[in-house]
């Protein structure tokens, strides 16, 4: 397939026009989906991790946090060099590393080896998302790019509906390693499709700037107060979400009495509700303004957060409804927040900034996992103690996020 020779490519540069665009967006969505499933796969498996490896709640968070922390560091360090390679080759090699790490996790029967392999996978998992977004930006004309971006961004909700429940099923029916083996096998077929159908993308190489030291690139971003506020917003929102997510399944199972076999259904319902509600929240934010919408959604999200971290024995139906609203509002508040962040800098600086944003989100996930592990403890019969404090931390973080969002100025609407 011919190389792409410009930064913004219309359908006339691609064989089969729009049909090829749709195929490329689908493949990139699939890659993003697989990376998302991998990154969140172990979060609802807290009980299985603790039982399989005989570890404490704090230790169980290591397999989640190490991935996110390493992915965050990889995102920071790679930001200054991401634009210096053919994007197709960069995607292929990062995807190969991701697949290798995923397969290694599938054969990790020792807790410490699993932690090491999760860290290795995080190196590549922290880069893949940024590469996919860059390819979409290069290949899809601006007038159709928003639709393409929305398709790629749905990977999180689709992963919650299909990938996570299926992973939970495999872990319960076989062992905790089986989901990674299956995910690695599916990823190989996706890699072959990427090699065949994604075009070589080299147009940006003709616009090279002098090589910048990664530390210098970081300094340039962090010297901009507006970008710093936007990065803090990304970190706080993810932290507020994942500090609860880390132990919500063990809490629902061990404290509330939720049938463990129904956990995949809970995630599936939450994912479906998120997909249905996302377009409405997007239109609401466009109509009412992003910051006011963000404030409303964050405040509303406090309700399911407090309820889900305080409930005891309730019906399965009520617990599922609470979790569904948790998913809807946690994902919904991200929509106006992402829009605010995307306008926090000028277009020529947006690439590096978005890489930093992804890194901050990964770090937020990892640190939230560690913090949650230190707050909660395991009581008699495996019950999760002090989970209500996690809810307070999440709400307090959300309040701080509102203040930070008020400090983010829109400097561009492009």
- What separation in angstroms does the CA of 14 have from each of 89, 134, 164, 207? 18, 17, 35, 21
Closest CA to 269 of 277, 254, 182: 277
Average pLDDT of the chain is 80
Residue 297, pLDDT score: 93
Residue 9, pLDDT score: 38
- What separation in angstroms does the CA of 382 have from each of 55, 62, 216, 257? 12, 19, 48, 12
pTM of the predicted model, to two decimals?
0.73
Contact between 89 and 4 under an 8 Å Cβ cutoff? The reply is no
Domains of the chain: 1-210 (1.20.1250.20), 212-414 (1.20.1250.20)
Each residue's pLDDT tens digit, 74-132: 877 776 666 677 788 889 999 999 999 999 999 988 888 999 999 999 888 878 877 88
Residue 64, pLDDT score: 76
Each residue's pLDDT tens digit, 139-177: 776 555 555 666 776 776 677 677 777 887 888 888 889
Closest CA to 72 of 337, 356, 397, 401: 356
R_g of the chain, CA atoms, integer Å: 21
Residue 127, pLDDT score: 81
Choice between 355 and 237, residue whose per-residue pLDDT is larger: 237
Each residue's pLDDT tens digit, 317-375: 888 888 888 888 887 888 788 778 767 776 556 556 767 777 788 788 878 888 888 89
d(CA 248, CA 57) in angstroms, rounded, equals 12
> Residue 399: pLDDT above 90?
yes
Task: Check residue 408 and report its DSSP letter.
Answer: -
In our burial notation (b when 16+ CB lie closer than 10 A, e otherwise), range 330-368 reads bbbbbbbbbbbbbbbbeeebbbbbbbbbbbbbbbbbbbb
> Residue 19: pLDDT above 70?
no
């Amino acid at each position: 397939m011919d190389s792409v020779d410009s930064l913004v490519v219309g359908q006339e540069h691609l064989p089969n026009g729009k049909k090829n665009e749709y195929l490329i967006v689908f493949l990139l969505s699939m890659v993003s989906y697989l990376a998302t499933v991998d990154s969140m796969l172990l979060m609802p498996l807290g009980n299985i991790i603790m039982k399989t490896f005989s570890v404490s709640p704090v230790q169980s968070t290591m397999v989640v946090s190490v991935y996110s922390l390493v992915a965050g560091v990889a995102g920071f360090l790679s930001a200054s060099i991401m634009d210096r390679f053919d994007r197709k080759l960069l995607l292929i090699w990062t995807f190969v590393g991701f697949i290798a790490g995923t397969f290694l996790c599938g054969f990790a029967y020792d807790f410490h080896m699993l932690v090491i392999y999760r860290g290795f996978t995080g190196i590549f998992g922290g880069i893949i998302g940024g590469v996919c977004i860059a390819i979409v930006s290069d290949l899809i004309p601006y007038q159709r790019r928003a639709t393409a971006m929305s398709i790629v961004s749905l990977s999180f909700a689709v992963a919650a509906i299909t990938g996570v429940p299926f992973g939970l099923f495999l872990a319960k029916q076989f062992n905790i390693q089986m989901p990674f083996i299956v995910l690695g096998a599916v990823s190989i077929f996706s890699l072959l499709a990427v090699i065949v159908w994604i075009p070589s993308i080299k147009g940006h190489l003709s616009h090279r700037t002098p090589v910048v030291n990664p530390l210098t690139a970081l300094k340039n971003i962090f010297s901009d107060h507006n970008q710093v506020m936007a990065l803090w917003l990304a970190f706080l929102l993810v932290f507020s979400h994942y500090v609860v997510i880390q132990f919500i399944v063990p809490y629902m199972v061990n404290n509330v009495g939720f049938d463990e076999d129904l956990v995949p259904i809970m995630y599936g319902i939450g994912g479906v509700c998120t997909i249905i509600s996302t377009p409405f929240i997007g239109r609401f934010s466009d109509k009412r303004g992003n910051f006011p919408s963000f404030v409303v959604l964050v405040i509303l999200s406090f309700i399911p957060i407090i309820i889900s971290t305080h409930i005891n024995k309730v019906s399965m139906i009520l617990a599922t409804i609470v979790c569904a609203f948790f998913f809807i509002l946690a994902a919904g508040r991200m929509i106006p927040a992402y829009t605010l962040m995307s306008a926090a800098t000028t277009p020529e600086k947006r690439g590096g900034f978005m890489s930093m944003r992804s890194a901050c989100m990964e770090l937020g996930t990892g640190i939230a996992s560690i913090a949650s592990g230190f707050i909660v403890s395991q009581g008699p019969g495996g019950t999760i103690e002090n989970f209500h404090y996690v809810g307070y931390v999440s709400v307090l973080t959300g309040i701080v996020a509102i203040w930070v969002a008020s400090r983010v100025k829109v400097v561009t609407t492009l």
